Amino acid sequence: MSNGALKTSPLHEKHVALGAKMADFGGWEMPIEYPGGGVVREHTAVRTSVGLFDVSHLGKARVHGPGAKDFVNSCLANDLDRIAPGKAQYTLCCNESGGVVDDLIAYLRGDDDVFLIPNAANTAAVVEMLEAAAPEGIEVENLHEGYGVIAVQGTKSDEVLEALGLPAGHDYMSFVETQWQGHPVIVCRTGYTGERGYELVPAWGVAAELWDALLRAAEPHGGLPCGLGARDTLRTEMGYALHGNELSPDISPVQARVGWAVGWKKSAFWGREALVAEKAAGPAKVAWGLLATGRGIPRAHCAVVADGKQVGEVTSGTFSPTLRNGIALALLAPSVSEGDEVVIDVRGREVPARVVRPPFVEVGVRES
């Protein structure tokens, strides 16, 4: 499960056999791209057909015991009372200053059982915070290397799952706990690409066999294994936040425009007082999209300039394979508005850009 200082997923040998380019991602050695076209080909496969991603580096944790749901709800920012068992919810683990320790998905199994999928590098911190706050009778388990996670994303994702006898077609952000060849698998209608898709959570030891079966089922549709490079270009086109870039212990959900994932009417959750105050006062910086109008590819930490003054900084930047254009996400001063023309300083080169509201592309993630 580990390679020197880096952990490896249960599919590691599969990626090596396919010739994947591997790199460190949150302390895990994960595939960035595969031979035969790389990021652009993989990105396009998801937008037009189907792509398979190993995201087993994502964390897994379980909070269970009498009142587990209410306990988690008193800690994490979103409101679990908004959903019913069998539904998943995007939520935030905040610190007392309102910054984001992690963004994660909560699977509500019942009043006494919540399954969490945090980010790889932040799993231990989230589990430790929950353990420290848990009352007697509530157990918090770190199951990081107990499960794999495989994302099946794209317009043909239903067909791929159906070929394996797995459930498909359920509502967005809902999950089904089922069996595949006698092994339990969670199938959740969610993902990080903006396309229709699913995330499958099998036991660690079953993940490799399931991956092979999914690849075979995707092949007739022109489906491809996809690395985390394409996952990043896909999520940037959608304007989805990445922890460490658009969210961090120093960047609040108010600044990142993910206040919709905060249960503002709840009486208690970590960081509530600071976030309520920030919302009332207005944030010091605000998330926007930038569409390059000149040649150049923005990158994280590039300065954004308007009227000769720096007004913010790029948090994520890339080449959009769909638009064939440079795009970026940035935190900008409140004085900046949609439609404003700015300049991005890309290694000393001025790249003109227009301030826009993501997503940069139209997709069908929520379509029934």
Q: In the chain, what are the domain boundaries?
A: 2-56+146-238, 61-142, 285-356
> What are the tens digits of pLDDT across the range 289-348?
999 999 999 999 999 999 999 999 999 999 999 999 999 999 999 999 999 999 999 999
Token look-up 């993630």 returns 365
343 and 294 Cβ atoms separated by less than 8 Å: no
Q: Which CATH superfamily is domain 61-142 in?
A: Aminomethyltransferase beta-barrel domains (3.30.70.1400)
Q: What is the domain class of 285-356 according to CATH? A: mainly beta
pLDDT score for 2? 47
Burial 198-232 (b: 16+ CB within 10 A, else e): bbbbbebebbbebbebbbebbeebebbbbbbbbbb
Domains 61-142 and 285-356 share a fold: no
Measured distance CA(246)–CA(240) in Å, rounded: 9
Is the pLDDT confidence value at 1 over 80?
no
236 and 39 Cβ atoms separated by less than 8 Å: no
56 and 11 Cβ atoms separated by less than 8 Å: yes
Q: Compute the C-alpha angle 155/151/79, nearest 5°.
A: 100
CATH topology of domain 2-56+146-238: Gyrase A; domain 2 (3.30.1360)
Q: Which residues make Cβ contacts (< 8 Å) with residue 53, sequence separation at least 6?
A: 150, 151, 153, 225, 226, 227, 228, 230, 231
Q: Which residues make Cβ contacts (< 8 Å) with residue 46, sequence separation at least 6?
A: 153, 154, 193, 195, 226, 230, 234
Q: Span 71-95, mean pLDDT?
A: 98
Measured distance CA(69)–CA(87) in Å, rounded: 13
> What are the tens digits of pLDDT across the range 204-258?
999 999 999 999 999 999 999 999 999 999 999 999 999 999 999 999 999 999 9
Measured distance CA(136)–CA(255) in Å, rounded: 36
Provide the percentage of residues in the chain whose pLDDT is more than 70. Answer: 98
Measured distance CA(358)–CA(352) in Å, rounded: 18
Q: What confidence category does residue 362 fall into, taking pLDDT thresholds of 50, 70 and 90? A: confident
